[in-house]
Amino acid sequence: MKAKYKFALVSIAISSALLSGCKTGDIATKTAQAPSVETVTLTETKITPYHTFIGRTEAVNDVDIMPRVGGELTAIHFRDGDMVEKGQLLFEIDDRPYRAALAYAKASLQKAKAQLVQTTRDAERVKKLIKDKSISEQQYDDAIAAHAAAIASVEEAKATLVSARLDLEFSSVRAPFSGRVGFSNFRVGDRISKIQLVPLVSITQIDPIRFGFDVDEKLYRRVRSAIDVAHRNDDKLDVDLTLTLSDGSLYPLDGKIYAVGNKIDLETGSIRAEAQFDNPTYALMPGEYGHLTIKLRNKTIDGLLIPSAAVQQDQAGDYVMVVGDDHVVSRRNVELGQTYGVKRAVLTGLAANEKVIVNGLQKVRPGATVKDVELQSEQG
């Protein structure tokens, strides 16, 4: 009986060993026959976070120059599209009527002052005469009223003189700021009206120039500190604001955050912000499309970078293929961040030491067994 029991145990042990050997052999055989793919193992590395925003350049000021006085246009002192300086003479309107009006206003003021002198004397005299009843109360009242009217006439004449001087000054139309003029809507000899609706010309200030962009609500919460630091222009923190233009070229001057909106747009779910760049050579024009990058150069974080070649997309979003320790492929949805050369930062979905497929993706599907050849990962 004991001999039979021992034989049974030995048989079970041998059978188990044979089955185990067969299973291991099956896996090895299956792996050997599986398609070959290239993988990289993710490791944490120091990366400098940054964010890029799409927008367009905007003029600091864009003004339609309207006439303040009317008359015949006698001269134009610029060519369409010229750069002009603040205070530069742009148009001249016939100033002869305004010079005459100024001369008349000066004479009227002198006359009013002379009348005031006379009525002042009369007022002083009647004040003495009324005491001894030498004049009637009516005569007294008339003299005092005439003096008050003379004072008002002087003030009125002064205001008329100021207005006449302004009208003469306004007959010479000057640039309110430095910028680029557009196309003149009038020619020499045209009749100008101060109540017309058509501007003489438009002028745009483009130095400095602004770059307007919208920040998504979720992203704003993530990058708010970087934007606030840039807005404060804190020299202790090394903030980079760079502008990449539509042709891929990098604008040579750094910028700064000029303003951030005070509320989130309910329709777009974003907040408005503006950066500002010096534009001394007028290389930038309003309306240019570009990408603004905000980066804190001295700040680094531990993060994962994944080769862009590993990333696939479908209606569900970005995903990668991960190879497990058992050589079985699984799909992993990921949220990606910024681009660093040929790599993307991983925000969620992957962890360090996981293997992702970078070559041979067309050969596999989730659940498949693969033979992976690991490539050397160059992080950063």
Q: What is the pLDDT of residue 1?
A: 47
Between vectors from CA 71 to CA 70 and to CA 74, what angle results, nearest 5°? 130
Domain boundary among 170, 188, 218: 170
Q: Determine the structural domain holding residue 280 and report its residue range.
A: 51-59+202-296
Domain boundary among 259, 274, 296: 296
User: Does residue 43 fall inside a structural domain?
Assistant: yes
Strands 45-47 and 270-277: unpaired
What CATH number does residue 220 fall under?
2.40.30.170
Taken in order 28, 31, 33, 37, is the CA torsion positive or negative?
Answer: negative
Instruction: Please give the Cα distance from 41 to 375 (Å, whole number).
Output: 8
Per-residue pLDDT of the chain (380 residues; tens, 9 = 90+): 444 444 444 444 444 444 444 445 555 555 557 788 999 999 988 888 788 899 999 999 999 999 999 999 999 999 999 999 999 999 999 999 999 999 999 999 999 999 999 999 999 999 989 888 888 899 999 999 999 999 999 999 999 999 999 999 999 999 999 999 999 999 999 999 988 899 999 999 999 999 999 988 877 766 665 566 555 555 544 568 899 999 999 999 988 888 888 888 888 888 898 999 999 988 999 999 999 988 776 677 788 999 999 999 999 899 999 999 999 999 999 998 888 889 998 988 999 999 999 998 888 899 999 988 887 655 44
Provide the CB-side half-sphere exposure for 300 (13 A, CA): 8
**Are 165 and 136 within one domain?**
yes
User: Does residue 81 fall inside a structural domain?
Assistant: no
Q: Residues 205, 178: contact at Cβ < 8 Å?
A: yes
Tally the domains of the chain.
3
Domain boundary among 146, 170, 194: 170
What count of other Cβ atoms lies within 10 Å of the Cβ of residue 27?
13
**Are 124 and 151 within one domain?**
yes
**Are 262 and 215 within one domain?**
yes
pTM greater than 0.95: no
User: Does residue 112 fall inside a structural domain?
Assistant: yes
Strands (E), 114-268: 172-174, 179-181, 191-192, 201-216, 239-245, 255-260
What CATH number does residue 107 fall under?
1.10.287.470
**Are 208 and 292 within one domain?**
yes
Q: What is the pLDDT of residue 340?
A: 85
Between vectors from CA 159 to CA 154 and to CA 164, what angle results, nearest 5°? 120
User: Does residue 110 fall inside a structural domain?
Assistant: yes
User: Does residue 107 fall inside a structural domain?
Assistant: yes
Which of 90, 40, 333, 57 lies closest to 206 in space, CA to CA?
A: 57
Instruction: Please give the Cα distance from 243 to 164 (Å, whole number).
Output: 49
Q: What is the pLDDT of residue 17?
A: 44
User: Does residue 64 fall inside a structural domain?
Assistant: no
Strands 301-307 and 289-296: unpaired
